[in-house]
């Protein structure tokens, strides 16, 4: 009635009538073992359903062949796509990816970090809830595991990062609206404390400023209601906008829904352009123009950079010493209908 534990290497050895070493050799490739013994041991392994205990290997001090990924949410398409891409890289490197979600809570984030370190992951990918968190920064600097930040950098730390060109993407998007003849472009968003959002705001400001237009920014959009309120206020104001630039996915959708509800057509009298693509952007009417981020590329590049860090045999010293790399990935403006370009319906 005790826990019927999984078979161990020793048990396999006993059953096969060989020593531990031989079994160890068999499960690690079968070099230096006579074909006969090899076959016999393999048969026993199979019969017993033996699986090497990863924990024991880890204890020997080798790599654990696991890497961690800490993201705000698994249900967010952006991050789950990143995760999927990172997992592919991990698998290619014979490693396991462990994903944990923080709901953007700094406390949970640090907890997750500790859990992963306890599991001795070989490296860590993290999308920090707060790019300038003192606590996170200190923790990260003390940790000896290689870390790569994704989507958002960690300031004042030595960790490399892979992020989108938020600034350039937002500036180009705003310029695009200006080229469409819009000269009253309102910028809407929520979560303005996030690094990504701040960069996009900078981009919007830069473009609007360069064109000599006025900046209209509302960072209070958190749900449909707040979007409705914000947009109605703008329309009732002295200078109603003729374009909306939304800085994040949910805001874009809320804005679309509000305009649809108010029976205001797009792109005229109001154009809509959003940062970050989403699945049904082409199916909505009008189809929604967006700044598209290379989501998979971010996950992949970050994971690859991470593996470089602990696979650099010759130059491991260099890698360690090298100052953090900041990889910026280009965004792409997808011209559909809502901004005034003629989109392809499907």
Partner DNA sequence: CTGTTAGCGCATTCAC
Partner DNA sequence: GTGAATGCGCTAACAG
Rounding to the nearest 10 degrees, give the CA dihedral for residues 37, 38, 40, 43: 170
Q: Residue 219: name the closest of 255, 182, 246, 183 by CA.
A: 246
Q: Residue 151: name the closest of 102, 114, 186 by CA.
A: 102
Q: How far apart are CA 89 and CA 305, in angstroms?
A: 10
* β-pairing verdict for 243-246 and 216-218: unpaired
By CB under 8 A, the residues from 178 to 207 that bind its own copies are none
Q: Residue 217: name the closest of 184, 176, 179, 182 by CA.
A: 184
By CB under 8 A, the residues from 107 to 126 that bind its own copies are 114-115, 117-120
Interaction mask 286-325, its own copies, x per CB under 8 A: -------------------------------x--------
Q: Which stretch binds its own copies (CB under 8 A): 36-44, 179-187, 238-246, 283-291?
A: 283-291
Binds its own copies by CB under 8 A, chosen from 49, 236, 238, 318 = 49
Examine residue 54 and tell whether it contacts its own copies (CB under 8 A). yes
Q: Which stretch binds its own copies (CB under 8 A): 33-41, 56-64, 212-220, 266-274?
A: 56-64
Token pair 């804005």 is found at 255
Examine residue 5 and tell whether it contacts its own copies (CB under 8 A). yes
Tokens standing for 175? 């310029």
Examine residue 175 and tell whether it contacts DNA (CB under 7 A). no
**Strand pairing partners for 243?**
185, 271
Q: Which stretch binds its own copies (CB under 8 A): 154-162, 163-171, 236-244, 250-258?
A: 250-258
Examine residue 64 and tell whether it contacts DNA (CB under 7 A). no
- The distance between the two most distant Cα atoms of the chain, rounded to a whole number of Å, is 90
By CB under 7 A, the residues from 29 to 48 that bind DNA are 32-38
Binds DNA by CB under 7 A, chosen from 1, 42, 49, 56 = 56
Q: Residue 201: name the closest of 158, 170, 164, 242 by CA.
A: 170
Q: How far is the CB of 31 from its own copies (least distance, A)?
A: 20
Q: How far is the CB of 312 from DNA (least distance, A)?
A: 19
Measured in degrees and rounded to the nearest 5, phi and psi for residue 243 equal -155, 145
Q: How far apart are CA 121 and CA 99, in angstroms?
A: 11
Examine residue 84 and tell whether it contacts its own copies (CB under 8 A). yes
Q: How many CB atoms lie within 10 A of CB 73?
A: 14
Host H or E run for residue 124:
strand 123-126
Q: How far is the CB of 1 from its own copies (least distance, A)?
A: 7
Question: Over the Cα atoms of the chain, what is R_g?
Answer: 26
Q: Which stretch binds DNA (CB under 7 A): 22-30, 165-173, 211-219, 245-253?
A: 22-30
Q: How far apart are CA 271 and CA 184, in angstroms?
A: 10
Using CB under 8 A, list all residues that contact its own copies.
Answer: 1, 4-6, 49, 51-56, 58-59, 61, 64, 66, 73-75, 77, 80-81, 83-84, 87, 96-101, 114-115, 117-120, 142-144, 224, 253, 256-257, 260-261, 278-280, 283-285, 317, 345-346
Using CB under 7 A, list all residues that contact DNA.
Answer: 5, 8-10, 17-22, 24-25, 27-28, 32-38, 50, 52-53, 56-57, 59-62
């Amino acid at each position: 009635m005790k826990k019927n534990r999984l078979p161990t290497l020793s048990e396999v050895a006993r059953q096969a009538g060989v020593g531990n070493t031989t079994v160890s050799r068999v499960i690690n490739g079968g070099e230096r073992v006579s074909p006969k013994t090899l076959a016999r041991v393999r048969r026993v392994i199979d019969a017993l359903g033996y699986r090497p205990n990863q924990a024991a290997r880890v204890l020997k001090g080798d790599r654990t062949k696991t890497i961690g990924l800490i993201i705000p949410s698994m249900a967010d398409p952006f991050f789950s796509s990143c995760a999927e891409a990172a997992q592919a890289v991990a698998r290619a490197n014979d490693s396991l990816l462990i994903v944990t979600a923080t709901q953007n809570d700094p406390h949970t984030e640090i907890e997750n970090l500790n859990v992963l370190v306890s599991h001795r992951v070989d490296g860590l990918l993290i999308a920090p809830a707060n790019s300038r968190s003192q606590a996170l920064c200190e923790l990260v600097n003390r940790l000896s595991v290689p870390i790569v930040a994704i989507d958002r950098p960690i300031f004042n730390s030595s960790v490399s990062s892979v992020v989108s060109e938020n600034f350039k993407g937002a500036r180009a998007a705003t310029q695009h609206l200006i080229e469409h003849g819009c000269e009253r472009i309102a910028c809407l968003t929520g979560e303005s404390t996030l690094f990504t959002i701040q960069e996009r705001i900078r981009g919007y400001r830069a473009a609007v400023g360069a064109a000599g237009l006025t900046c209209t920014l509302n960072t209070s959009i958190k749900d449909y209601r707040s979007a409705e309120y914000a947009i109605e206020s703008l329309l009732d104001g002295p200078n109603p906008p003729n374009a909306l630039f939304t800085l994040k996915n949910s805001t874009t959708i809320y804005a679309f829904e509000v305009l649809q509800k108010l029976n205001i057509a797009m792109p005229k009298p109001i154009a809509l352009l959003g940062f970050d693509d989403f699945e049904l952007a082409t199916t909505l009417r009008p189809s929604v123009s967006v700044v598209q981020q290379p989501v998979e590329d971010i996950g992949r590049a970050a994971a690859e950079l991470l593996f470089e860090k602990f696979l650099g045999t010759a130059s491991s010293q260099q890698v360690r010493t090298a100052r953090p790399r900041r990889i910026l990935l280009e965004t792409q403006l997808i011209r559909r209908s809502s901004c005034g370009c003629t989109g392809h319906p499907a």
